[in-house]
Amino acid sequence: MNPEKLKIAVLGGTGNIGEGMVLRLALQNLMAGGVKNEVIIGSRSPETAEEAAKEALRELENCGFDTSGTTITGNSNLEAAKAADIIILTIRFTHVEPLLKEIREALEGKIVVTPVVPMVKEGPLFEYRPPAEGSAAQAIKERVPESTKVVAAFHNIAAGKLKDIVQCKAVHDSVVCSDDEEAKKVVFELVRHMGCLKPLDGGPLKHANTIESLTPLLINLAKLNGMKDLGINFS
């Protein structure tokens, strides 16, 4: 892993959260102290991923950024994972198991970042439904090679705020959990330079369940109290 230029795959990068994540990660190249990186969008269809990569570059240009130093490409989930040092899973929990089977060979020694939240809609509100392992993060940990470092992060930021790269400078807290202190530090730096998030240490991975459960809470609070795109702050 070259700390000067990280290769980051955003699997499910054509989805709602994925799109914002790609833009924010690409923007870090333009920031003083930002992690220099190369973003690879992964999708089931390489063509969809390539199109999303072009669209992200267009979006950055439309917002007035110079993208000459920015690399965003698209590929299949497996090829994106192979090319990357850090793999972010911006996917639904139900897609986790088949995806990890497909890309498992590409994960040896790498960092897998999970913002995945297992939840269901019951009536008008969402409920957290963790798997038997305790959380999506722990379920993922059991399905990757032993050398893979799993970091839970980026759960509690609304897609709307993440994508709004020009307007949204609000700094919400993002709690990061991992059993690997080195990997946690790398992800801390990524979070710190997203432009809208402040990282907080949430301890080992087994504490990820509480962080994951905040996502349905945020959606429910927004709905019940007439608010929108909620984030969270601890003070």
Q: Nearer to a copy of itself by C-beta: 83 or 159? A: 159
Of the ranges 20-28, 40-48, 186-194, 221-229, which one interacts with a copy of itself (CB under 8 A)?
221-229
- Binding flags for a copy of itself, 75-114, as an x/- string (CB under 8 A): ----------------------------------------
Of the ranges 86-94, 104-112, 145-153, 194-202, which one interacts with a copy of itself (CB under 8 A)?
194-202
Of the ranges 5-13, 95-103, 147-155, 203-211, which one interacts with a copy of itself (CB under 8 A)?
203-211
CA distances from 98 to 36, 68, 95, 180 (A): 31, 36, 6, 25
Q: How far is CA 125 from the centre of its chain?
A: 24
How many other CB atoms are there within 10 angstroms of residue 156's CB atom? Answer: 21
Q: Residue 216, interface with a copy of itself (CB under 8 A)?
A: yes
Of the ranges 31-39, 65-73, 80-88, 212-220, which one interacts with a copy of itself (CB under 8 A)?
212-220
Closest separation between CB of residue 216 and a copy of itself, Å? 7
For 217, counting Cβ atoms within 10 Å of its Cβ (0-12 exposed, 13-18 middle, 19+ buried), the class is middle
Q: Residue 12, interface with a copy of itself (CB under 8 A)?
A: no
CB of 50 closer than 8 Å to CB of 74: yes
Give the binding-site size for a copy of itself (rule: CB under 8 A).
31
Nearest 5°: the CA angle 179, 141, 194 is 65
Q: Residue 211, interface with a copy of itself (CB under 8 A)?
A: yes
Q: Residue 219, interface with a copy of itself (CB under 8 A)?
A: no
Q: Residue 125, interface with a copy of itself (CB under 8 A)?
A: yes
End-to-end CA gap in the chain: 35
Among 10, 111, 202, 205, binds a copy of itself (CB under 8 A): 202
Q: What angle in degrees, to the nearest 10, is found between the helix axes of 16-27 and 46-62?
A: 50
**Three-class secondary structure assignment of 139-162:** HHHCCCCCCCEEEECCCCCCHHHH
Between CA 177 and CA 140 the distance in angstroms is 13
- Binding flags for a copy of itself, 152-171, as an x/- string (CB under 8 A): ------------------x-
Q: Residue 74: in which H helix or E strand, if any? A: strand 72-76
Please report the sign of the dihedral spanned by the C-alpha atoms of residue 185, residue 189, residue 110, residue 6. Answer: negative
Give 40's Cβ-side CA count (13 Å radius): 20
Q: Residue 1, interface with a copy of itself (CB under 8 A)?
A: no
Closest separation between CB of residue 100 and a copy of itself, Å? 26
Residues at the interface with a copy of itself (CB under 8 A): 125, 127-128, 170, 172, 175, 200-204, 207, 209-211, 213-214, 216-218, 220-221, 224-225, 227, 230-235
